[in-house]
Structure 1
């Protein structure tokens, strides 16, 4: 019989995977890996602000992640280099978050849980946030699927079809912000980007359509969660890191299989 905490951990991991599978595919297609990494680093500032103002952590991280997405979109629309903007904002927000955390009583010692994740302490209320956020992201992607795919494949073709690529980029950025907010307790701010990228990258080699890649990435993510939690309990290793390690192993295996074919 599985313990209560383990069931919650499995449900939390699978809830995040429901969103990261499809969204991670767009991150890979549009080469937005650095954006996801920057948004997750900025979420540390949201954690510090949440503790400082005694607000729910998910609200603080979501607010900062959304602000990050909107600021980056605004600055890049003005002609600023996306890499430069992301680098400045990500490192600045991370530094401010660490500085702010040092002034919040009790947070400095507990910050590791938000940097590297602590899926085994997820509560029932956390599950509500995680599954609610995942459903929101998944519903948004399904609603905008064809437009997002067209804009990702060819922006000129998208414009000819009456699709605004900038709007679709903004939608993906906002969806990324939501995923960062719900995943920070699972794999931590430093590993969220890996949860998005690695399953999608592993699925890319043997997927013929965008839908197949999104589905395969979700399946790989689910396997990573289950196997990673099992490895964590068996080896005593950190749960979030174990999930990413399993995902990386699947990616390496997919490369070997792809080369043989």
Structure 2
């Protein structure tokens, strides 16, 4: 069955959607949209590192995404405001990645596949990496869900109850870095943040609890992945942007329905 490239692409999109959705909920609850953007933009620098050192692309992206996330966590709250710091880091990482890739000797790199994804070229190994990362993220979140939720909704109360909000932030950072590393093949560095944020934002009007919001986000993310893949095949459009476009259409529909749901 996995010899069929469409089936592999669908499974890859589903894996990324299931990993990104619950993380996206935390990104929204913590108001960390730029954080996800900065971490995903660093992926291109990870691609350059991997190509220069013969590392697997996923390993290079994971390493750089993790370093970027840790640097942002360390520097936030210092002399620069959080949004300014994240804006600087996001665009600097993307620019440095583009420059680094262009300077690689003897390498002819198709940047569009790293910027916007290449889901139709997913191999069995890529599929194993994507689902391995998705399972790792799921296990991390299941293990720390209550502590992460407490540290997100009320850090002071969580600390007073014996929790460690800084540790939970680092666990969330690790999960984000894993997600970025496995998603670059599917939607690319420029669109990873969209798959984090849009399904979770779409799910918000339908949810009454954090858990139901995460479940709704996973379902909507999977629907966007399948819908974008089918639209790409039908209309011969780029698959990564098509997935995000379907996610955006679902968000518009959710926003239109939100007033009706509030009155219900």
Q: Give the TM-score taking structure 2 as reference length.
A: 0.94
1:51 aligns with 51
Take 1:77 and 1:32, find their aligned partners in 2: how far apart are those partners? 14
Take 1:65 and 1:18, find their aligned partners in 2: how far apart are those partners? 19
Shift of 1:73: 1.4
Q: In the alignment, is the contact (CA less than 8 A) between 2:44 and 2:94 conserved in 1?
A: yes
The root-mean-square deviation of aligned C-alpha atoms, in Å, is 1.6
1:63 aligns with 63
Q: Structure 1: which 4+ aligned runs deviate by more than 4 Å?
A: 77-80
Q: 1:123 to 1:164 in 2, by over 3 A?
A: same
Take 1:19 and 1:40, find their aligned partners in 2: how far apart are those partners? 14
Shift of 1:173: 1.4
Shift of 1:6: 0.5
Shift of 1:83: 2.2
2:235 aligns with 235
Kindly indicate whether residue 112 of structure 2 is the aligned counterpart of residue 95 of structure 1: no
Q: In the alignment, is the contact (CA less than 8 A) between 1:25 and 1:197 conserved in 2?
A: yes
Q: Give the TM-score taking structure 1 as reference length.
A: 0.95
Take 2:202 and 2:95, find their aligned partners in 1: how far apart are those partners? 32
Shift of 1:78: 5.0
Shift of 1:2: 9.3
TM-superposition CA deviations, 1:145-202 (whole Å, max 9, x none) = 0011111111121112111212111211111111111000100100000000000000
Q: Can you give the 5+ residue segments of structure 2 that lack an aligned partner in the other structure?
A: none
2:122 aligns with 122
TM-superposition CA deviations, 1:198-244 (whole Å, max 9, x none) = 00000001100011000000000111111111100000011111111
TM-superposition CA deviations, 1:105-127 (whole Å, max 9, x none) = 3444x011000111000000001
What is the correspondence of 1:1-261 to structure 2 with a 5 Å cutoff?
4-76=4-76, 80-104=80-104, 105-108=106-109, 110-261=110-261
Take 2:108 and 2:178, find their aligned partners in 1: how far apart are those partners? 23
Per mean C-alpha deviation after superposition, the further-off stretch among 9-18 and 92-101 is: 92-101
Give the number of equivalent residue pairs: 260
Q: In the alignment, is the contact (CA less than 8 A) between 2:39 and 2:177 conserved in 1?
A: yes
